[in-house]
Amino acid sequence: MPFAIPGLSPALARAAHQLGFEQATPIQALATPLAIGGADVLACAQTGSGKTAAFALPLLQRLQEGPAHTPRRTRALVLVPTRELAAQVGEVIRSLGQQLERRPKVAVLFGGVSINPQMLALRGGADVVVATPGRLLDLVAHNALRLDSVELLVLDEADRLLDLGFAEELRRVLWLLPPRRQNLFFSATIAPEVQALADTMMRDAVRVDAPAIAANEPAILQRVIQVDETRRTELLRHLIKDQGWEQVLVFVATRYAAQHVAWKLYKSGIFAAPFHGDLSQGARTQVLQEFKNGQWDVLLTTDLAARGIDIAQLPVVINYDLPRSAVAYVHRIGRTGRAGQSGLAVSFVCAASEAHFCLIEKRQHMSLPREQIAGFEPMEQEAPASAEPPGTGGIKGKRPSKKDKLRAQASGKPER
């Protein structure tokens, strides 16, 4: 059956079908018709559920229905939190647009690389801009583009865009946009700060919470293995070899840990590489593509890879260090089990981090059995309840942090 969504033009339906879209996912079936109709939409759906296409299709339809402009003016702006997600979203929009009679010009802008090629790419304008906030503001400051013609604003991974380092930049971008525009917010989780921002920016916004259905629900087996903190690398090496895992994404808390653990694994004969924000953009792009191609068995990463990265049929995710929050846990394990595929998510829990994982379980309304691997039985004693587990950045409490204050400023919500 051809790909079809109510209100979607036949040309875009054919374009989606030619790219392998067979049937609309729940988020596409619910959010896309509303967006095509011009409504402001706040959409929440699980990772790997097709959120990018859910906003890319109405975005392209809006461009097709409007008049052509020479020189081009930026009519659609998509803001994303990371370089990798910018490249991924830009590729989806370009691929769909290539099938259309009037092909839109898509500019993908992010930091970590020279600004000059991006300024050259913007000569003559661009119909769609996909950008991280910081680099977008840099290019505006260089008079490389204007945002006063934007008709459609998309925030992808909206809650991350209110994270530390993005809130003030997001506020500055919003000031540059025309007040009359359509707004689409998409994320796998809708934090209170995102809802507050939507309440201030959107006009009669429609909230869409896409349910998981059997055909799209990720079958992720979650395991929790107890191990002493000092033996985690040894256990990781043992599991990779014993289980025959050939593609593993391992989350650690710091850039140093990504480098250090990758080196230890490589030294023991496992092809492992680090992936973190200290690498140049060229190096990040290369190592991620090599991992997707199967040239690396293990990728050691910080939360840089926790959102937006799509690795087809990734079988295993390991939480070497626990994430700082329950929301980050959802995004991390969501790298596997995508688009209805099965996956495995393993968390290492030591004595000092047991209380933190219990908090994650409580906030995710789950309870997972603890396992011990023969030869790696833990010997450490459980830490006092008030201690912060190592490698998590601390447990978020009720007292507002600097990050919370920045989020509150961006959303217009008063600090607690």
Domain residue limits, the chain: 10-209, 219-371
Q: Is 318 helix (H, G, I), strand (E, B) or coil?
A: strand
- Which ranges of 105-184 would DSSP assign to H, the alpha helix? 116-121, 133-141, 167-176
Q: Whole-angstrom Cα distance, residue 101 to residue 232? A: 55
At residue 410, the pLDDT reads 55
Tokens at 339, concatenated: 């688009």
Q: 219-371: same fold as 10-209?
A: yes
Structure tokens at 174: 């919003």
Distance CA 74, CA 122 (A): 10
DSSP state of 162: G
Architecture of the structural domain at 10-209 = 3-Layer(aba) Sandwich (3.40)
Alpha helices for 268-383 (secondary structure H)? 281-292, 326-333, 354-363
Instruction: From 157, 141, 182, 298, select the one nearest 233 (Cα to Cα).
Output: 298
Question: What is the pLDDT at residue 278?
Answer: 84
Res 387: pLDDT:
47
Q: Residue 414: what pLDDT? A: 44
Question: What are φ and ψ of residue 109, in 5° steps?
Answer: -125, 125
Going by C-alpha positions, the residue among 179, 311, 173, 178 that lies closest to residue 247 is: 311
- How many C-beta neighbours within 10 Å does residue 409 have? 16
User: What pLDDT, on a 0 to 100 scale, did the predictor assign at position 397?
Assistant: 46
* 3-class secondary-structure state, position 53: helix
What pLDDT is recorded for position 110?
92
Length of the chain: 416
- Evaluate the omega torsion of the peptide bond into residue 315 and state whether it is cis, within 30 degrees of 0: no
Evaluate whether 391 touches 253 at the Cβ level (below 8 Å): yes
Q: How far is CA 196 from the centre of its chain?
A: 20
Query: Who's near 347: CB < 8 A, 6+ residues apart?
Result: 222, 223, 224, 225, 318, 319, 322, 357
Q: What does the alpha-carbon distance between residue 95 and residue 266 come to, in Å, rounded to a whole number?
A: 37
CATH superfamily of 219-371: P-loop containing nucleotide triphosphate hydrolases (3.40.50.300)
pLDDT in tens, the chain (416 residues): 467 899 999 989 988 888 878 788 888 999 999 999 999 999 988 766 788 999 999 999 999 886 776 678 999 999 998 888 898 899 999 999 987 888 899 999 998 889 999 999 999 899 999 999 999 999 999 999 999 999 999 999 887 777 656 778 888 999 999 999 999 999 877 777 778 888 888 888 899 987 654 444 457 899 999 999 999 999 999 999 999 998 999 999 999 999 999 999 999 999 999 998 888 878 888 888 899 888 999 999 988 776 667 777 789 999 999 998 888 898 888 888 765 678 899 999 999 999 999 999 998 889 999 999 999 999 987 655 444 555 554 444 445 555 555 555 555 544 44
At 196 the pLDDT is 82
Helix, strand, or coil here: 300? strand
H-helix or E-strand spanning residue 87: helix 83-97
In Å, what is the CA distance from 244 to each residue of 39, 298, 317, 319? 49, 12, 14, 18
pTM of the model: 0.67
Whole-angstrom distance, CA of residue 317 vs CA of residue 324 = 16
Beta strand spans in 127-284 (E): 128-131, 152-156, 182-187, 206-209, 219-226, 248-251, 272-275
Q: C-alpha angle 346/219/344, rounded to 5°?
A: 20
